[in-house]
């Protein structure tokens, strides 16, 4: 078997047909898994079994998603919404002062990681201001943490230079690449500090760090740029341009809504519209008119107004309001993107993480083995797809419809072959093969354009290879049937 398509549609009878419907299927990925296994075996005489087994444990670990942005972008609120509990401290002032990792645990537990690696158990929430404190690790019994480990980073425009430096040391370390598999970047409005941080994260993507940046417009309800304005902003050339509007506050309130909160909101909704509108002009007027200081602290003026509007619109029970808040928040769209781009490639990304750790342990020792790991990392098409998807918004030399089509065929909406090709579920293997061949020929013809710049040419080549992989898998399924 070959690890490269080299422009030829493969016909591999040894690919397991059960894999066809789960993710990108091609013989290169199957062969890659065998070669990766051999790399770990070859490292055992150099590192010893314990060190290699520690690397292999990454194959069963959740993927890491880092939340980044400038000060008060809403990272901790969104993290709480994703987890479904108010675990990360939030306030009007700066709360997150060290990089904090949230992982799956059978019961709540927290540890402080000190400079030098020493760990000590701590109470939650911690102070997090000690000068010798490197980071925090929190374990929680939350379902999402079975799939993803979430990393909350301090805002990079912090009043404390040391606090901002902790985030930069995690996202753009001087001695290597960022450990995160993907970055969710939260944006309130586009400032120079956002552009600087986005450039550093995007540079990490190119150096083998995170495999993509998912943009979130975290305060879309406030005065600031719209998603359409960001898409056309020339300052984002070469950077992520698609920012999904998500209100972490509405999502969190929906996921943690209590019956007493709903009762108070329903009572507000029964007040005359003009009377309540007058009260919602300012926090002072609202408190004077209602006395709901607890509600105001937890929901804010915007959250109360949104919830009241939803109750008046038909969300007349606590479960109905909770569901409506989550829908309005945009959280479901964010989780769908994370699942389509990251979750469906979990096996390939875990192998990548294990190989990266193996390479780090071998640095300066077994040069030929390190070179083999580098070749394996460079040749994994699932990773090529993710890097290409991350670069698509900056490929302004390609028309918007072309970029949309490339996003689909590269697996931006999901890795199932039918999704990539825009086919209905249940098509036969023969029909899928024919569609994939047509798509591969289409993208190959686009490569004939002599005016293509190198970045666009790489994206089109990736699309050709993705279509060829689907065609190879469809051929296997046709023979198996």
List per-block mean pLDDT (blocks of 10 residues) for the chain, which spans 481 residues. 30 30 33 65 93 92 92 89 85 66 92 85 64 82 93 80 83 84 90 89 77 82 77 82 90 95 96 94 93 91 95 96 96 92 86 88 86 82 83 82 94 92 91 95 94 93 95 84 68
DSSP 366-422: -HHHHHHHHHHHHT-HHHHHHHHHHHGGG-TTS-HHHHHHHHHHTTTT-SSHHHHHT
Residues 6+ apart with CB under 8 A from 353: 58, 61, 63, 64, 181
Inter-residue contact 156 to 185 (CB < 8 Å): no
Closest CA to 340 of 381, 385, 396, 391: 385
List residues bridging with 213 in a β-sheet: 183
d(CA 364, CA 36): 20
Residues 6+ apart with CB under 8 A from 453: 397
DSSP annotation of 44: H
Closest CA to 101 of 152, 48, 155, 27: 152
Domain ranges of the chain: 17-58+366-480, 61-246+331-340, 263-327
- Residue 357: C-alpha distances to residues 2, 112, 174, 283 (Å): 26, 23, 17, 51
Token pair of 466 as six digits: 């993705």
Give this prediction's pTM: 0.80
pLDDT at 30: 33
pLDDT at 174: 82
* Residue 430 DSSP SS3: helix
Quick one: fold of 61-246+331-340?
Rossmann fold (3.40.50)
pLDDT at 35: 61
Inter-residue contact 169 to 156 (CB < 8 Å): no
List residues bridging with 391 in a β-sheet: none
DSSP annotation of 224: S
């Amino acid at each position: 078997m070959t690890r490269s398509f080299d422009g030829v549609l493969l016909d591999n009878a040894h690919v397991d047909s059960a894999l066809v419907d789960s993710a990108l299927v091609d013989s290169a990925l199957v062969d890659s898994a065998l070669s990766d296994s051999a790399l770990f075996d070859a490292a055992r005489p150099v590192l010893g079994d314990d060190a290699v087994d520690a690397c292999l444990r990454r194959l069963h670990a959740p993927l890491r998603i880092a939340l980044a942005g400038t000060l008060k972008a809403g990272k901790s609120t969104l993290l709480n919404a994703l987890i479904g509990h108010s675990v990360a401290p939030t306030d009007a002032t700066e709360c997150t002062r060290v990089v904090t990792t949230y992982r799956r645990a059978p019961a709540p537990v927290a540890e402080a990681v000190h400079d030098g690696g020493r760990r000590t158990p701590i109470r939650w929430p911690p102070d997090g201001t000690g000068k010798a404190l490197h980071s925090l690790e929190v374990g929680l019994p939350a379902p999402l943490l079975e799939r993803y480990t979430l990393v909350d980073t301090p805002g990079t425009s912090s009043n404390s230079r040391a606090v901002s430096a902790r985030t930069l040391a995690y996202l753009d370390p001087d001695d290597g690449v960022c450990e995160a598999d993907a970055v969710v970047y939260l944006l309130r409005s586009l400032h120079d500090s956002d552009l600087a941080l986005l450039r550093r994260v995007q540079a990490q993507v190119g150096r083998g760090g995170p495999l993509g940046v998912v943009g979130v417009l975290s305060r879309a309800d406030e005065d600031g740029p719209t998603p359409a304005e960001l898409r056309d902003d020339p300052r984002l050339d070469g950077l992520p341009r698609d920012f999904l509007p998500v209100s972490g506050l509405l999502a969190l309130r929906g996921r943690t809504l209590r019956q007493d909160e709903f009762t108070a909101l329903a009572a507000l909704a029964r007040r005359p519209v003009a009377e309540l509108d007058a009260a919602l002009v300012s926090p002072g007027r609202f408190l004077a008119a209602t006395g709901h200081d607890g509600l105001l602290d937890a929901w804010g003026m915007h959250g109360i107004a949104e919830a009241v509007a939803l109750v008046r619109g038909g969300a007349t029970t606590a479960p109905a309001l909770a569901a409506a808040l989550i829908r309005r928040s945009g959280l479901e769209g964010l989780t769908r993107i994370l699942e389509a781009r990251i979750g469906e490639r979990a096996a390939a990304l875990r192998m990548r993480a294990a190989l990266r750790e193996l390479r780090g342990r071998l640095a300066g020792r077994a040069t030929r083995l390190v070179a083999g790991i580098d070749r394996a990392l460079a040749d994994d098409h699932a990773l090529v797809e993710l890097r290409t998807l991350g670069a698509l918004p900056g490929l302004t030399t390609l028309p918007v419809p072309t970029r949309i089509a490339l996003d689909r065929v590269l697996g931006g909406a999901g890795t199932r072959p039918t999704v990539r090709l825009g086919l209905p579920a249940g098509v036969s293997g023969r029909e899928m093969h024919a569609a994939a061949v047509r798509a591969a020929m289409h993208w190959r013809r686009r490569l004939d354009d002599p005016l293509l710049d190198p970045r666009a040419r790489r994206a089109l080549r990736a699309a050709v290879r993705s279509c060829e992989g689907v065609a190879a898998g469809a051929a296997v399924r046709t023979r198996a049937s």
